[in-house]
Amino acid sequence: MEHQDLLPILNALAVPVLLIGHDRKIIIANAPAEELFGKGLSNKDFVRALRHPDAVGCVDRTLAGQEREEVEISLNAPVRTTYNVCAVRTQDPDTDEIRIVFSLYDISHVIEAEQMRVDFVANVSHELRSPLTALSGFIETLKGAAQDDAAARTRFLDIMQGEAGRMTRLIDDLLSLSKVEADEHIRPSESVELSSLVERIVATLDGQAKAEQKTIRLEKSEPSFQISGDSDQLTQVFQNLIENAVKYSSANSEISVSLFRVEKVAGVQSPALAVQISDQSEGIAPEHIPRLTERFYRVDKGRSREMGGTGLGLAIVKHIVSRHRGRLAISSVLGEGSTFTVYLPLS
């Protein structure tokens, strides 16, 4: 097949492919390869396109006689990407000249998924190990030195109850996250009147806010907002966000909960309902904001655990909002407070 006939076929492939001659010069570079390495690669040495030593060695070993060679390489530009590169030895049937078909498959998502799995297991193990270690220590103490000390026994049992509660919350959040992720591709179809749903949550948390000398103010631009959604999951979203605002806002401050219509917002295909929760807290530094929805990510680990947080709440919120085809936006000013805004498509 002539080179001009082969190029349209290679251009139809989604992965970068180079056809390399016996002298290591590039004969053909398909469109994805030119997008990755730049145009004008024909008749240039392979190293002009890719200088990575493992990739060059892969091509050289194939030219030397290996039928097929595969290696894994990482390239840093424009962003760090990991590829599985494959060099296959072929022979031109007309001239008997050796040709190498060199292709690159982006496996970054596989590497990232595996790293996420490893990190997730490590984080869960760490989160469970701490309370289990504490429980084991207190049980050993109660069986020994504090066996006949009523005051110490009461104090230790209270602490043990708190640690057991922490493990229960963690397991509940893990199960919740697993269920949300499993259903994320299924868009909910139940009709939900969100205004009354948020009102119920505010009423539920009002007592907690007053006990901490804080107030919750609810504002609505319209009396009713109808959306398609899952009422239980949406309750979980706004319960989490408003409760966080109550927990982290300063004493004698106000938490503002506002519902209003937005005609257009990036990432949402139709007019949307915005539910905005603003607090008067210490605020969050800019470098933390992009990572707030990561599993087990905490700005202040000690304070979060002290307040009963598992580090999974905002990850659950993100996945539920994604399932509803909405968007979560977070902004904060140090020393002034934070604002969490959930945009949901209106029915």
Q: How crowded is residue 139: how many other Cβ atoms within 10 Å of its Cβ?
A: 12
d(CA 248, CA 284): 11
DSSP string, 167-223: HHHHHHHHHHHHHHHHHTTS----EEEHHHHHHHHHHHHHHHHHHTT-EEEEEESSS
pLDDT at 46 over 90: yes
At residue 308, the pLDDT reads 56
Which position has the higher pLDDT, 179 or 94?
179
Tokens of 5: 């006939």
Tokens of 158: 């209270």
pLDDT at 301 over 70: no
Q: Return the CATH number of 3-106, one of 3.40.190.80, 3.40.640.10, 3.30.450.20, 3.40.50.1220.
A: 3.30.450.20
Within the chain, which residue ranges are assigned CATH 1.10.287.130?
108-183
Alpha-carbon separation of residue 76 from 20, 80, 114, 147, 292 (angstroms) = 24, 4, 20, 61, 26
pLDDT at 236 over 70: yes
The topology (CATH level 3) of 187-347 is Heat Shock Protein 90 (3.30.565)
Residues 6+ apart with CB under 8 A from 227: 191, 192, 194, 273, 324, 344, 345, 346, 347
Within the chain, which residue ranges are assigned CATH 3.30.565.10?
187-347
Helix axes 150-183, 108-143, angle to 10 degrees: 160
At residue 110, the pLDDT reads 87
Within the chain, which residue ranges are assigned CATH 3.30.450.20?
3-106
Q: Average pLDDT for residues 118-128, to the nearest whole number? A: 80
CA contacts within 13 A on the Cβ side of 345:
17
Q: Average pLDDT for residues 36-55, to the nearest whole number? A: 91
What is the three-class DSSP state of 139? helix
Give the type of residue at 159: I
pLDDT at 307 over 60: no
Give the type of residue at 218: L
Is-contact 265 315, C-beta < 8 A? no
DSSP string, 258-283: EEEEES-BTTBSS-EEEEEEE--BS-
CATH architecture label of 108-183: Orthogonal Bundle (1.10)
pLDDT confidence of 4, banded at 50, 70, 90? low
Residue 279 phi/psi, 5° resolution?
A: -125, 170
Angle at the Cα of 335 from the Cα atoms of 329 and 336, rounded to 5 degrees: 55
